[in-house]
A and B are shown apart, each in its own frame.
Chain A
Amino acid sequence: MPPIPPQVQQIIDALTATPPLEGYLVVGAIMFAIGAWGALVRRNAVVVFMCVELMINAVNLTLVAFADYLPNAGGLGVSYAVLVIAIAAAEIAVGLAIVLAVFRTRRTVNVDEITSMRG
C-alpha cells in the first residue's frame, strides 16, 4: 500500500477529526438566520412553514451540540431536542391543517392576502 501523501493525509485528518463546537454553532446560526429570513419574507405560507422548521432544527442542532460539549448536563440538551421534535411535528400538523382550511375558503396561500385580523 503506497504511502499516503501528506497533503491527502491532511485532508483525511481534517475530514475525520471531531468538528469543534464553533462549527455546529455557526452552522446552527446560519440555518436560523436563513429560516428567520425566509419566514419573514416569503409569501407562500407553505414555504414560511418550511422556514419555521428550519429555525426549529437550527435550535435543535445547537441543543445537541451543547449536549455533547457539556457532558455534566447529563444529556439534558438531547432530551430537549426530542421534545422540540415532537412539538414541531404537532405544530406542523396543525399548521398545515390551517393552511389547507385557508386555501379551501380563499383559494390562496399568499400570506400577504390573509389580513382579516387587521385592526
Chain B
Amino acid sequence: MQTVGQQLIIAAIPVLPALVFFLLALFGRLLRENAQYVAILGVTVSLVFSVFALLYVAGIIPGGTSIEFAVNWIDLGEGGSFSMGVYIDGLAAMMLVVVCFVSLMIQLYSGAFMDGDKRFAWYYAVLNLFTASMLGLVLAPNFIELYVFWELVGLCSYLLIGHWFEKPSARDAALKAFIVTRIGDAALFIAIIIFWAQTGTTSFEGISEAAQAGFIGSSLLTAAIVLVFVGAVGKSAQFPLHVWLPDAMEGPTPVSALIHAATMVAAGVYLVARTYDIFVQSEQAMLVVAYIGGFTALMAATMALVKKDIKRVVAYSTVSQLGYMMLGLGIGSYTAGVFHLYNHAFFKALLFLCAGSIIYAMDSYNLFEMGGLRHRMPITFWTMVIAGLSLAGIFPFSGFWSKDAIVASAYDEHYYVLFGMALITVFLTAFYIFRAIFLAFTGEPRTEGARAAVESPGIMVGPMVILAFLSVVSGWVGIPDGFGIPVKDYFAQLVVPSEFARETLGLEPHPFSLALATVSVAAALVGIGLAYALYIQRPERAGALSRRFSGLYSFLDQGWYFDALYGATFVRAARYLGRLARGFDREVLVGGLTGGVGRLVSGFGEFLRRLQTGGVQNYALFILLSVLIIGIIVGAQYAFLVFALIALATITAFAVGSRL
C-alpha cells in the first residue's frame, strides 16, 4: 500500500502536463516564447515523479510491486459504477518514464525548431495535452478511463498534424489521421460495450477474470478481442489502417517524433500489452495479431524502399517496427514486444529529430536535394548513423536486443512464415534506412541548399546526442541471461506477462540462440552493404534499376496503391453518400419541409391580411360577433342561443345592409 503522499505524486504525473496545457492555452499570448520554459518545467517534474513510480514498482523504494488506487467517477446505482483510477505495474511504469523522457527531449528540441512560429505557445500547449493524455492512458486500469484518454490522444494528434493548417495538405492529413483512427476507435468502443454487457465490468482485471470463468462465449470473446485489436490497429497504424501515418508527416517534425516514439502510435501496442490477459484467452485473436503485425512489418518496409521524402522513409519504418511489436505480442513473446516498444521510442525519436535537423538546415524534405551533408552537419550525421544502426538491429545497439528477441522467438515458437517475413524485413529495414542516410549525407551536394547547410543550434543537437546515447545503451538493460555477460536481464524482471498468460500460452523459456542472432545481424549487414553498393559505389545503378522496374517502383512509391484503392471505394462511397445527404437536405428538408412551412404561414398571413381593413367599424363588428359567439358557447342555453342568434342576424343584417 502507498501513502496518500505517494498517491498524490502518482496522480500528479498526468495532471501536471494537463495543468501546463490550461496555463498555456489561457496565457499563451502573454508568455509567447517563454511558454517553452513553463512546459519543460512541468514535464520535467512529471519525469521525476515517473522515475519515482518506476523505482517503487521495481522494488527499490519499498512498498510493493504495483500501485493501485481508484475513486468512484460515475455511480449508476443498481447498474454498477465506473471508476477513475491508477494501475501501475512494470509495464506502465516503464511507459511513464519513456513518455515523459521523450516528451521532454522533444520539447527542448522544439524550442529552436519552432522558433518564430505564429502559434508557438499553442503548439507547446497541445504538446503537453498530448503528453498528459498518453500518461493518463498508461495509468488507466479500466477500459472507460482508457477510452477517454485514447480519444484525447486522437484529438491532440489531429491538432498537431494540422498545426500549420494554412497549408491545405496539412489540413487534409490531419483530417485523414482523425477519420482513419476513428474507425479503430469505433471498433474499440463496440468491444468495450460487449465486455460491459457480458461481464458488467470494464476493468482489465475484471474482464480477464470473468472471461476465464466463462462469462463470455468463446466466439464472442474472440470477436471482442479482435475489435479491441482493430482499435489498436487504427492507433498504431497497422495494415489495413496504416494509411494515415505517412500523411501525418505534414505536421512539424518534432510532433512526428512525439507521435511515432511515445504518444500516439505506442498507444495501440500498449493497449494490446495492457489487456494481454484477455488476448491470450483466444488463440485465433492472437494469430490475427501476429499475422497482421508480421504482414505490416514487411509491407511497410517495402514501401519505405523508394520514398524520396526523408520523413516518409522514417514514417514507414515506424509502421514496420510497430508491426514487429504486434508480431512479438501475437506469438506470445510479450517481454520482447514491449522491449522493442521501449527501445524503438528512443531511436525513432532520434531519427525524426535528425530529419528535423536536416530540414531546419536546408528547408527541404527531398533526399535527392540533399547529399554531402556529412561534413556540414557532423553531429547530425553521427547521431543518425547510430539511430540507423539501432533500427537495423546491429549488435550491440539497442535495437538488436529487442528485434533479435522477436525474430528468435518467432523461430522458437515454430511460426516459420512469420520468421521468414521478419527476417526479410530486417534486411529491408537496414537497406532503406541506410539508403536514406547515404543519400542525405554522402556524395556531392546536389543543390545550393545542401551546400549552404550548417549544423543546427545546441538546443536541438543536445537532445539528439542524449537520445543517441540511449539508442546505444537502452537495450543493455535487457541483455538475455544466456548471452554470456554477467549482467542481469532487468527488463525481463520488470515487464513480465502474468502467471495466467504464461500458463495459457504454455511458453517455455528459450535460451539465447547465437545462430539466430548471427543470421539476423547478417541479414541487416547485407542490407547495409547493398545500400552502400547502390548509393555510394555506383549511384547510377540505383536509377537504372528504378527505370528498369518502373512498374514495381511506382507500386512501392504509391504505397501499394492503398490510397488509390481507398479513394476509389470508401472515399468515393462516402462522397456519394454525402452528396445524397446534401441533396436530401436541400431538396426535401430545407426546400420541402422548412420552406413549405414558411410558404404555408406566409400564405395564411396573406389571407388574414384582407381582414385588416384599417376601418375601425369592421374591427368593432368582429369584436361584437366574437363576443356573441363566445357567449353562445359559454352560455349554451337554449333561450339564450335563440336570442343571441336573432340578435346576431339582426345586427349583421343592419350592419351589412347599411354598408351596401
Interface residues of A (CB under 8 A from B): 33, 36-37, 39-41, 48, 111-112, 114-119
Residue of B nearest to A37 (CB): B654
Interface assignment of B548: CB less than 8 Å from any CB of chain A: no
A39 CA to B615 CA, complexed, in Å: 12
Which of B556-589 touch A at CB < 8 Å? none
- The stretch from B165-173, B251-259, B351-359, B605-613 touching chain A is B605-613
Contact A116 B614 (CB under 8 A): yes
Known: A40-B620, A41-B655, A41-B658. A118 touches B647 (CB 8 A): no
Name the contact of A114 in the complex, choosing from B608, B612, B616, B647 (C-beta under 8 A): B616
Interface assignment of B542: CB less than 8 Å from any CB of chain A: no
Contact B624 A36 (CB under 8 A): yes
Please name the 7 residue pairs, one residue from A and one from B, whose CB atoms are nearest each other, closest first.
A119-B612, A118-B614, A115-B614, A41-B658, A117-B614, A119-B609, A40-B655
Known: A33-B647, A33-B651. A41 touches B659 (CB 8 A): yes
Collect the chain A residues with CB atoms within 8 Å of residue B621's CB: 40
Collect the chain B residues with CB atoms within 8 Å of residue A39's CB: 617, 620
11 contacts across the A-B interface (CB closer than 8 A): A37-B655, A40-B617, A40-B624, A40-B651, A40-B654, A48-B616, A111-B617, A114-B614, A114-B615, A116-B614, A117-B612
Name the contact of B611 in the complex, choosing from A114, A116, A119 (C-beta under 8 A): A119
Contact A119 B610 (CB under 8 A): yes
Residue of A nearest to B605 (CB): A119
Residue of B nearest to A41 (CB): B658
A112 CA to B651 CA, complexed, in Å: 19
Residue of B nearest to A39 (CB): B620
Contact A48 B612 (CB under 8 A): no
Report the minimal beta-carbon distance from B601 to chain A, rounded to whole angstroms: 15
A117 CA to B615 CA, complexed, in Å: 8
Contact B616 A36 (CB under 8 A): no
Collect the chain B residues with CB atoms within 8 Å of residue A40's CB: 617, 620-621, 624, 651, 654-655, 658
Which of B599-653 touch A at CB < 8 Å? 608-617, 620-621, 624, 647, 650-651
5 more A-B residue pairs beyond the given contacts A40-B620, A40-B651, with a C-beta to C-beta distance below 8 A: A33-B647, A40-B621, A40-B624, A41-B617, A119-B611
Report the minimal beta-carbon distance from A67 to chain B, rounded to whole angstroms: 22
Known: A36-B624, A119-B609, A119-B610. A41 touches B615 (CB 8 A): no
Name the contact of A112 in the complex, choosing from B609, B610, B612, B615 (C-beta under 8 A): B615
Contact A48 B617 (CB under 8 A): yes
A36 CA to B611 CA, complexed, in Å: 20
Report the minimal beta-carbon distance from B624 to chain A, rounded to whole angstroms: 6
Contact B615 A37 (CB under 8 A): no
Contact A36 B651 (CB under 8 A): yes
Contact B615 A115 (CB under 8 A): yes
A27 CA to B34 CA, complexed, in Å: 95
Residue of A nearest to B621 (CB): A40
Interface 1/0 per residue, B234-245 and A, CB below 8 Å: 000000000000
Contact A118 B617 (CB under 8 A): no
Report the minimal beta-carbon distance from B428 to chain A, rounded to whole angstroms: 83
Contact A41 B654 (CB under 8 A): yes
Report the minimal beta-carbon distance from A49 to chain B, rounded to whole angstroms: 11
Question: Which of A48, A114, A115, A119 has its CB near the most chain B CB atoms (within 10 A)?
Answer: A119
Collect the chain B residues with CB atoms within 8 Å of residue A114's CB: 614-616
Collect the chain B residues with CB atoms within 8 Å of residue A115's CB: 613-615
A100 CA to B57 CA, complexed, in Å: 98
A112 CA to B658 CA, complexed, in Å: 13
Report the minimal beta-carbon distance from A110 to chain B, rounded to whole angstroms: 11
Collect the chain A residues with CB atoms within 8 Å of residue B654's CB: 37, 40-41
A111 CA to B647 CA, complexed, in Å: 24
Report the minimal beta-carbon distance from B538 to chain A, rounded to whole angstroms: 93
A90 CA to B608 CA, complexed, in Å: 33
Collect the chain A residues with CB atoms within 8 Å of residue B624's CB: 36, 40
A119 CA to B606 CA, complexed, in Å: 9
Report the minimal beta-carbon distance from B201 to chain A, rounded to whole angstroms: 68
Report the minimal beta-carbon distance from A29 to chain B, rounded to whole angstroms: 9
Collect the chain B residues with CB atoms within 8 Å of residue A118's CB: 612-614
Contact A119 B617 (CB under 8 A): no
A1 CA to B647 CA, complexed, in Å: 51
Collect the chain B residues with CB atoms within 8 Å of residue A36's CB: 624, 651
Known: A33-B647, A37-B655, A40-B655. A111 touches B616 (CB 8 A): yes
A33 CA to B652 CA, complexed, in Å: 12
A119 CA to B613 CA, complexed, in Å: 6
Collect the chain B residues with CB atoms within 8 Å of residue A117's CB: 612, 614
Contact B614 A119 (CB under 8 A): yes
Report the minimal beta-carbon distance from A108 to chain B, rounded to whole angstroms: 14
Collect the chain B residues with CB atoms within 8 Å of residue A112's CB: 615, 617
A115 CA to B621 CA, complexed, in Å: 15
Collect the chain A residues with CB atoms within 8 Å of residue B609's CB: 119
A114 CA to B614 CA, complexed, in Å: 7
Collect the chain A residues with CB atoms within 8 Å of residue B616's CB: 48, 111, 114
A26 CA to B610 CA, complexed, in Å: 37
Contact B612 A37 (CB under 8 A): no
A37 CA to B612 CA, complexed, in Å: 21
Report the minimal beta-carbon distance from B603 to chain A, rounded to whole angstroms: 15
Report the minimal beta-carbon distance from B480 to chain A, rounded to whole angstroms: 94
A75 CA to B386 CA, complexed, in Å: 111
A114 CA to B651 CA, complexed, in Å: 23
Report the minimal beta-carbon distance from A91 to chain B, rounded to whole angstroms: 14
A65 CA to B611 CA, complexed, in Å: 38
A115 CA to B616 CA, complexed, in Å: 8
Collect the chain B residues with CB atoms within 8 Å of residue A37's CB: 651, 654-655
A40 CA to B612 CA, complexed, in Å: 16
A118 CA to B617 CA, complexed, in Å: 13
Report the minimal beta-carbon distance from A51 to chain B, rounded to whole angstroms: 10
A39 CA to B622 CA, complexed, in Å: 13
Report the minimal beta-carbon distance from A18 to chain B, rounded to whole angstroms: 25
Residue of A nearest to B616 (CB): A111
Residue of A nearest to B610 (CB): A119
A118 CA to B608 CA, complexed, in Å: 12
Residue of A nearest to B643 (CB): A29
Known: A37-B651, A41-B655. A111 touches B614 (CB 8 A): no
Residue of B nearest to A51 (CB): B620
A119 CA to B610 CA, complexed, in Å: 7
Which of B105-151 touch A at CB < 8 Å? none
Report the minimal beta-carbon distance from A78 to chain B, rounded to whole angstroms: 24
